[in-house]
Structure 1
């Protein structure tokens, strides 16, 4: 008899091994193997729990459950806890054991959930692969209150086979996932390169990246966070197949600490749902957290030391075991984003160089043609004036020549100012130095002052330079004074440039009239184009003050 029992055990193990190799679909394979195991051992019911690293369990397979455990779409198998799951969580369940008075079946009897088919006990067998614990296998039969050592040993051997098969399938799924993600990454990279070539603004990159992540990958949630000068802002979010740009929303204090932790680590990190909610829970949009199980955050290291970025994706995949492939692809995605940003900055630099070259060409053409003709006109008018001044009586055209000479000299001065605006010299020495030099060349004494020190982008510096030029021109033309004051104030959030004089005012009149308001309109448009504002204060007794305020909190240097 022992020899026959041993042969039956061998047949059981052989049949189970063959069954485990028939499919790469985990659920189908487990349903089949549990049914085959019960058939070979003479048991009637069985179920299998997968338990993750956090201790959360899922009934992934069951066979011939009693009606009491089938109620409400198998609710007793999805909620609550029991002795065997608790022992597994505590690390005390290492071998196949007998479980007396199953907690789920006890509840079924107590609360009259239905027929238990006289099942009161079950054997519990841990599923493992090497040192890795995977879950539990429970088997039972009506009236069976005890399992022999040989029965438990057979169940333990079967459990090892199931665990090895599950690990093999996990690795297979991980490789499939990795291959799929890298194929998607190739399509994403090619599309991003084309989009970057057509993109003209660096600020549009976050929205473009998030939109393309939603298109090319299957992550239900994705977000980009930017850290600039110590402030963390959510740039773009993709969720529920929609995208939002939320550049004004700052991370919570907990979210900022989480981001700094990932950025300082310089590697991707798995985030729990609690950490994900801490980071993005303050976003006004309704995010569907129910479809997410965990997330991955990967740092984006830009060249500027004061900047850092974070790419976060969330997934509904229950097991974080597949996170390795996602993390690898996310780190590659971060490199793509960095390269795209640098490409945009280089493209902006090339466009800026092209604009400067065009301005220089135009300045040279004006200097070589119109400027020289105005200078010749001024000399000619002066010569004719001298010739006619020697006649007696005084020739009537003398006064006209004097007017022509004065007008030509004024036009020459205006032309030189225009050439200076087209071809700014000295901006590389700093904004205030350039404005002071420009005012000096316009015949003004300019006193400059600065409060605060921080770097500002080229676009902001050039915008303030143009606004300051126009304000200095207005002082020279309309104030009636020969001095001006310029103050540049810098803090973490904004740059404020104030140009004032003690002249006769009149800016409000020019602003309200349809004439002579072009300069103020241009200054206001420049400020608005940088996301800022322009304020003008003018008094006939205290002069005029022009203030340009440009936000810097989201400015990327």
Structure 2
């Protein structure tokens, strides 16, 4: 190499190094460097491919492409494959090499996409930093079919400079992204803490989490999936900031297996474009499926106590899930899981407070009204005996007998009310508690159950009280001493049926407000739980009370 050529090479490397230090923005930097490289080497055309870990590639910079390669918005540079990209994928491209007859140019010539400016060959150089392979630098000139060893060595040195600068920019960008993501995580956590008081169950919690994630992270697609009967189903979804009402739709088996592997790993993981496209289509989102299938998505496993769930988010058009994203997503999962546990604890505290208040009221009724009714019954009985002891029946004796009978009936009602206020026995199950209650009321109760799942405490107690009132009506109005109770449980609802074969008449009592207070209370309890009460009554078939209560997701 002549001294002049050596000086020119040193000048080229110095100029490229100075250019690389002028920006932290990758695309403008590459555009500037490619243009400067072509200017210094006398070449005319150049382009850069960035190639991801999954083999996908994109042309992120180009300079002075011939018309043939600009066809249909640079389609030849976006689609298909070629020798240099294939060698890069195979790991066989270690140094700068000559490429004979560029396939992209050949395809453009074959399909007559335009003038090639007499470019047939190019040199290709791998971009790397250490062992990390990033992409390719290609350069060419009209009529140039061969690059000398010295030219390839210079291109190789420039490629090392570009690769090192790209790695520096990647690290800088990753730190910026990490800081931004953690700042958003703090805002999300505060918002979730404020919204917690508005969540009454796991379904509310899921919708709140998804909505807040869309607001704070600007993610185009967010879906929360929960496991029901061994199958993951969509519980809540947002796309483009719009809440989707289509929930609990079952996901395809292939996607389900992939998500279960993510859950088992306990770490956030990247999803393929096909997988996120399937989920976006499944959720019937307002976001075009093509937009989701061309972007990046991640699955974040959650660990609500005793349950299985996963959060799926569309992150936009990034090519790979960065380490910063994984760290923040794992922290995000911990925050959401902690909030779920907090919701459970708050609900338990509320329930304990309600139980304590009911127990206090029951004790007060027992110590005051119940004792007074018992004393009234004894007093009336003593007065009745005194009046009945005379030779001639005193006129007040019959009145004392009525007072005693009424006080005993009121005492029985008061004891039943106290028992309702203190729902002892639910520890052994709703049906066992109702059967025991019916037995205490002098009824023979036969119970039957279909389906297995855990009932939320509020729903279990609501059904317990409705069942008590229904059994009270059997005792007071049916004219029989037997009743049948059926509890049917599905994924979406609980159905409680209390039936007897008595004389009916419940419809007539319902039409008289003064005598249908119990039916009104049962209906109000059912409606307060979001359900409904159905009444069927006839003199031939007896009376059946059916209560249908929707059940929330078993998540949380």
2-side partners of 1:523 and 1:254: how far apart? Answer: 46
Alpha-carbon spacing, 1:387–1:469, altered in 2? closer, same or farther (3 Å): same
Is 128-137 or 529-538 further displaced after alignment? 529-538
State the Cα distance separating 1:230 from its structure 2 match.
Answer: 1.6
Equivalents in 1 of 2:231, 2:55: separation in Å?
A: 36
Secondary structure of residue in 2 paired with 1:49: strand
CA deviation map 1:463-497 (0-9, x unaligned)? 22112111111111101122333344556665443
- Report deviation, 1:389: 3.0
1:41 corresponding residue in structure 2: 41
Contact persistence 1:240–1:288 (CA under 8 A): no
- Separation of aligned partners in 1, 2:213 and 2:488: 40
CA deviation digits over 1:390-431, x for unaligned, max 9? 456433333233222222221121111111111122222332
Partner of 1:301: 303
Give, in angstroms, the shift of residue 271 of structure 1: 0.5
How far off is 1:316 after superposition? 1.8
Q: Provide the C-alpha distance between the structure 2 equivalents of 1:494 and 1:84, rounded to a whole number of angstroms.
A: 60
Residue 446 (structure 1) aligns with: 445
Cα-to-partner distance string for 1:330-379 (whole Å, 9 max, x where unaligned) = 11111111111111111111111111111111112222222222223223
Structure 1 residues 118 and 491, CA gap change in structure 2 (3 angstroms):
closer
Structure 1 unaligned residues grouped into runs of 5+? none
TM-superposed deviation, 1:198:
4.6
Q: Structure 1 residues 39, 556: closer, same or farther in 2, change over 3 A?
A: closer
- Superposition map of 1:67-216 within 5 A: 67-216=67-216
1:289-328 CA distances to partner (integer Å, 9 max, x unpaired)? 3333121111111221xx20101111123321x4321121
TM-score by length of 2: 0.92
Give the aligned partner of residue 417 of structure 2.
418
Q: 1:476 to 1:454 in 2, by over 3 A?
A: same
2:367 aligned partner: 368
Contact in 2 for aligned 1:255/1:280 (Cα 8 Å): no
Distance 1:452 1:249, change over 3 A: closer
The answer to whether the 8 A contact 1:480-1:504 is kept is: yes
- Which position in structure 2 is the counterpart of 1:526? 525
- 1:442 deviates by 1.9
1:56 Cα shift? 2.4
Asked whether the 8 Å contact 1:475–1:481 carries over to 2, the reply is yes
RMSD: 2.5
SS at match of 1:116: coil
Aligned match of 2:256: 256
Q: Mark the CA change 1:429 to 1:76 in structure 2 (over 3 Å): closer, same or farther.
A: closer
1:539 aligns with 2:541: no
Name structure 2 gaps, 5 residues minimum: none
- Specify whether residues 522 and 277 from structure 1 end up closer, same or farther in structure 2 by C-alpha distance, changes over 3 A only: farther
Q: Secondary structure at the match of 1:70?
A: helix
1:402 matched residue in structure 2: 401
The answer (yes or no) to whether the contact 1:235–1:245 under 8 Å persists in 2 is no
Q: Count residues with an aligned counterpart.
A: 554
> 2:127·2:137 contact (CA, 8 Å) conserved in 1?
yes
Matches of 1:176 and 1:494 in 2, distance apart?
48
Deviates more, 1:125-134 or 1:504-513: 504-513
TM-score, normalised relative to structure 1: 0.92
